[in-house]
DNA sequence: GGGCTAAGCGCG
DNA sequence: AAAGCGCGCTTAGCCC
């Protein structure tokens, strides 16, 4: 490792028995190559990171970084070729003729670690598993150069550079959060289950409070054998008892007045807790004081993250008390107030909406502006505007917003129109919506033909409106996801700069990299949880706030919009 | 016994 | 009160 010039980029790739590293300068010209013995890879990367702090270019972050983190090494920056390929391939800001669009071997699904995989996947022969992106160094270098060219040739190269850097930083964060885990108090979780459901019966069977609710339902139905877990059977039992609902969903049941309703809603609630996050979940997903979900960056078309296994993004608020910092550590729990409408104000340069949001609850600001009468109306109207509501109270309130905030509303209305016409829309940094399906396009053109039936026209129209609501929401949800990535990336750097605590204050269950270091432990669209040594809790909370301000500037420059945070320092993630 | 869908509900 | 966006997961019920 003795390059004359410090490499700005190092492309990693592997074949069966050897890892190759290709060292590049800032303009991606090759400085040299090295063969690395896989057994020495961690120390080689650690040395290169300490010496040059390059941006690591690799085919798929979890496949490289998971092992490094397990060995106690973190890197500052990377370029995830798989994720960036997906962005650039579809981006409307990239030239149609760009070579990156034709490199189909890089169209690969997220990697699933064998350890996390469902048994069915685990048992597949190697040849049957879904193909990943190419892993060897020359293929990685070729794709990297294609991606650089696509960005450099774009009229919006600056935005795309931000987006692919943020996406790649997110990939690092996702691997790191999995390595560190979310501190989880299994005893507190068990206590919540016992208080809510009753003691767990030793021999299987239902816990007492759940069984009691079931009995009260059956008594109210006058049907001692009624089945409560099968929707068709439950529906028939309700009909026999005179409760004439069309479904067994909660909102419809709640409209009815009948003695069975209260215990039935109670039963459904308890039953849901037991099946989704009961003792079985606890023993499957929590080990050694940590819940380690698999985060999937870019897993949603809009750029939001998805998760795989454990339902990480659906943890019920009921269980927040089980999220508990290690002794001597604290949680910093922070969420952004009304992220999406603030993002909409900024991307549409709507100074009136930004003004309504500045320094206060955005909904209160809208009420003060006189557009609507109450906070609840403001909330319903804003959600309706971003989701495309046309009926009900929400549909009635949206026109008032259109008068008060024409620029913001114009942006989402335009996005909807483009989507209805079969076009593509893009986020602020250039992530572009998927094209309509062949069936969708065929239905639209069929509906315009002279001999099209009324039913065909109606169906096509409804389908076009569906797509309009999708593209309307895409630009806002996707840009909010970009803001959140920028927030995460910036925060990650600030936390890494905090000093490690002494070994006697370590939290070893967070793994070798994070045992002595404040770190991100959870992320959910507009919320983060940081696990931090108590002595750095205030600094970590400040880092969360500073990172939010920094993310706003990075995306929107000096446009006067603020991103208000709710920040709590506590031992548990419970919010009052 | 596995693969698939629909219903329902948790999260933003 | 219950339309209007994006997800993952469990269960039941159906098919092979």
Protein residue at shortest CA distance from C1' of C7: A306
Q: What is the mean pLDDT of residues A505-516?
A: 98
Protein residue at shortest CA distance from C1' of C5: A387
- DSSP structure class, residue A16: S
Q: What pLDDT shows up at residue A115?
A: 55
CATH topology of domain A188-282: Taq DNA Polymerase; Chain T, domain 4 (1.20.1060)
A445: exposed, middle or buried (Cβ count in 10 Å: 0-12, 13-18, 19+): exposed
Q: What pLDDT shows up at residue A1?
A: 60
Who touches strand B, with Cβ under 7 Å? A 120, 231, 235, 247-251, 268-269, 272, 276, 313-318, 335, 477, 524-527
Cβ of A249 near strand C (distance < 7 A): no
Protein residue at shortest CA distance from C1' of B12: A525
Give A381's pLDDT tier (boundaries 50, 70, 90): very high
pLDDT tens-digit readout, A461-480: 999 999 999 999 999 999 99
Q: What phi and psi, each to the nearest 5 degrees, are found at residue A296?
A: -120, 90
pLDDT tens-digit readout, A116-143: 544 444 444 444 445 689 999 999 999 9
pLDDT tens-digit readout, A142-168: 999 999 999 999 999 999 999 999 999
Q: What pLDDT shows up at residue A97?
A: 95
Q: What percent of chain A has pLDDT over 70?
A: 96
Q: What pLDDT shows up at residue A201?
A: 87
Q: With 80 as the cut, is the pLDDT of residue A575 above it?
A: no
* Protein-contacted bases of chain B (C-beta within 7 A): 2-3, 7-12
Q: How far is CA A500 from CA A43, A414, A545, in A?
A: 21, 49, 21
Domain assignments of chain A as residue spans, ordered by start: 9-180, 188-282, 289-337+481-570, 340-476
Separation between the CA of A309 and the C1’ of C15 (whole angstroms): 26
**Class of CATH domain A9-180:** alpha beta
Q: What pLDDT shows up at residue A113?
A: 64
Separation between the CA of A56 and the C1’ of C7 (whole angstroms): 30
Cβ of A313 near strand C (distance < 7 A): yes
Separation between the CA of A232 and the C1’ of C14 (whole angstroms): 13
CATH assignment of A340-476?
1.10.150
Write out the DSSP string of A262-298. Answer: HHHHHHHHHHHHHHHHSHHHHHHHEETTEE--EEETT
Q: With 70 as the cut, is the pLDDT of residue A447 above it?
A: yes
Q: With 90 as the cut, is the pLDDT of residue A5 above it?
A: no
pLDDT tens-digit readout, A312-350: 999 999 999 999 999 999 999 999 999 999 999 999 999
Q: What pLDDT shows up at residue A351?
A: 97
Cβ–Cβ < 8 Å for A184, A291? yes
Structure tokens at A136: 């060897």
Q: What is the mean pLDDT of chain A?
A: 94
Q: What pLDDT shows up at residue A131?
A: 65
Residue among A237, A191, A247 at smallest CA distance from A217: A237
Edge-to-edge strand order for the sheet containing A329-336?
A519-523, A527-533, A329-336, A565-570
Q: What pLDDT shows up at residue A490?
A: 98
**Class of CATH domain A289-337+481-570:** alpha beta
Q: What pLDDT shows up at residue A116?
A: 52
């Amino acid at each position: 490792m003795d390059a004359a010039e410090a490499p700005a980029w190092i492309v990693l790739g592997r074949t069966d028995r050897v890892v190759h590293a290709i060292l590049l300068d800032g303009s991606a010209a090759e400085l040299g190559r090295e063969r690395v013995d896989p057994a020495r890879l961690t120390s080689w990367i650690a040395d290169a990171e300490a010496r040059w702090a390059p941006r690591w270019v690799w085919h798929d972050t979890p496949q490289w970084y998971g092992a490094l983190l397990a060995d106690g090494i973190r890197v500052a920056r990377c370029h995830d070729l798989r994720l960036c390929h997906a962005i650039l391939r579809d981006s409307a800001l990239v030239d149609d003729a760009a070579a990156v669009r034709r490199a189909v071997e890089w169209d690969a699904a997220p990697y699933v670690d064998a350890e996390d995989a469902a048994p069915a996947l685990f048992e597949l022969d190697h040849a049957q598993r879904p193909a990943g992106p190419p892993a060897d160094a020359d293929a990685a270098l070729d794709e990297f150069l294609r991606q650089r060219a696509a960005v450099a040739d774009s009229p919006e190269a600056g935005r795309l550079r931000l987006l692919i850097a943020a996406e790649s930083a997110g990939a690092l964060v996702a691997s790191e959060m999995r390595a560190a885990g979310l501190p989880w108090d299994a005893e507190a979780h068990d206590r919540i289950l016992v208080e809510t459901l009753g003691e767990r019966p030793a021999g299987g069977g239902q816990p007492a409070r759940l069984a009691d609710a079931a009995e009260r339902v059956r008594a109210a139905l006058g049907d001692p054998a009624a089945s409560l877990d099968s929707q068709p059977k439950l529906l028939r039992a309700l009909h026999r008892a005179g409760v004439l609902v069309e479904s067994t969903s909660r909102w419809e049941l709640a409209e009815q007045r009948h003695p069975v309703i209260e215990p039935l809603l109670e039963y459904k609630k308890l039953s849901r807790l037991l099946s989704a996050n009961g003792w079985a979940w606890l023993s499957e997903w929590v080990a050694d004081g940590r819940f380690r979900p698999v985060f999937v960056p870019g897993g949603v078309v809009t750029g939001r993250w998805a998760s795989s296994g454990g339902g990480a993004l659906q943890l019920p608020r009921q269980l927040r008390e089980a999220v508990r910092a290690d002794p001597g550590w604290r949680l910093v729990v922070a969420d952004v107030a009304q992220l999406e409408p603030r993002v909409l104000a900024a991307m549409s340069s709507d100074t009136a909406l930004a003004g309504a949001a500045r320094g206060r609850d955005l909904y209160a600001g809208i009420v003060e502006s006189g557009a609507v009468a109450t906070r609840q109306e403001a909330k319903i109207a804003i959600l309706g505007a971003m989701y495309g509501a046309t009926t009900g109270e929400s549909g009635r309130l949206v026109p008032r917003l259109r008068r008060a905030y024409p620029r913001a509303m114009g942006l989402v209305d335009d996005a909807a129109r483009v989507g209805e016409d079969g076009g593509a829309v893009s986020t602020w940094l250039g992530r572009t919506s998927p094209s309509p399906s062949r069936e969708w396009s065929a239905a639209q053109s069929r509906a315009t033909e002279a001999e099209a039936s009324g039913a065909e026209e109606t169906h096509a129209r409804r389908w076009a409106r569906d797509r309009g609501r999708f593209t309307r929401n895409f630009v806002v949800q996707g840009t909010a996801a970009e803001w959140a990535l920028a927030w995460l990336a910036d925060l990650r750097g600030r936390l890494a700069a905090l000093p490690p605590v002494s070994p006697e204050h370590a939290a070893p269950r967070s793994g070798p990299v994070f045992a002595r270091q404040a770190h991100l432990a959870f992320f959910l669209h507009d919320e983060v949880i940081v696990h931090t040594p108590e002595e750095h809790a205030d600094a970590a909370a400040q880092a969360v706030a500073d990172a939010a301000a920094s993310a706003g500037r990075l995306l929107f420059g000096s446009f006067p919009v603020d991103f208000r945070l709710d920040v709590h320092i506590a031992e548990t993630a419970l919010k009052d």
